[in-house]
Structure 1
């Protein structure tokens, strides 16, 4: 089991099949005082093997995995889905050269908590890592604009939501989990979960990330980019 976090340092596992990319990310992480590289993996299967070994030995698990998409043996999408399923406390930030909407949707559907392009500024990569570590979703600003533009408008639309559901939609877009929403609104976690499920159904959306993008598009919250 992962050890409790006792400092502000975020442990990061880098997963990329290119040694030169891993070397660059290692230098980047070494220069960030609040980020710490705790391991590297050459592909998705290697990442799973390392996580399994760390859990068995009781070693610290990374809070965040920086995941490439296109890799041999086990690609980034499959690895993301496997890690989210077996290690829900570990968050995935996809760091890739591919910005197509289909790839982004696939990564987010697999459970990724962030999606950043490799040509992004170092500050944005650091922001995405820190956001994921605190339970938030961070998308590259260009990717967020692309998804918001490509996402079909729900038939029912925002107007179908109750005032409470609109309020919860904003909180979802701000990255709050059901427990945090419940605490913020002074309601039970079960009630918060029901409201989230209801608003996703009304908006014909399949994930909280899609709901967040819709809230950004409708101007209910400000895009992080």
Structure 2
């Protein structure tokens, strides 16, 4: 019996090492002038290894984080990287309350870095006993968030009831977060907290507000053109149709 236990432990350790080696490392890449995409990874039950995208926008050596990485460790790594670029971390903003957007809030708060979220996001975080952002935006559309060039728009519910998008006007770049699916996505992903019934109208509001979008960064998957928004609309329509025919 001891031999079997020993073998099981050895195999378990081996498979754990293989799984760890397959987990991609946190990475940062430039996607525009002074704009960088950061991607962190977690093994999510039912989905496997998932990459989560956020941004760093650097303006005049001041850095703004759009969505924290998915762990405290990766948040520290990101801040270290920003400081290595000789930039000051001025603020972060989270596009909704899920952990892939907010995992670093507590650490940033502890280190005196301003954190921003909508009043609705903060309300939900508080209800769930999670650390809140230190600053709130309350209106539907906020410009010059934290003194930056960034705009925040609440288009209506979609992936969650509190999701917002971030617009970088001088780059004509939209950070859609989990509200926008990648071109490669075949489904709407995690719908546990979604408001699918309003998602299409919310997407329409984004394109009406920003008709000249040239580049879109989704919360998960590859960035691309405004075709990502069209793909998300198609996925929403397919989901609504499937729900109707199933009743």
Q: Normalising by structure 1, report the TM-score.
A: 0.29
Higher percent of residues as strand = 2
Structure with the bigger RCO (C-alpha within 8 Å, sep 6+) is 1
- Structure having the higher Rg: 2
Higher percent of residues as helix = 1
Q: Normalising by structure 2, report the TM-score.
A: 0.27
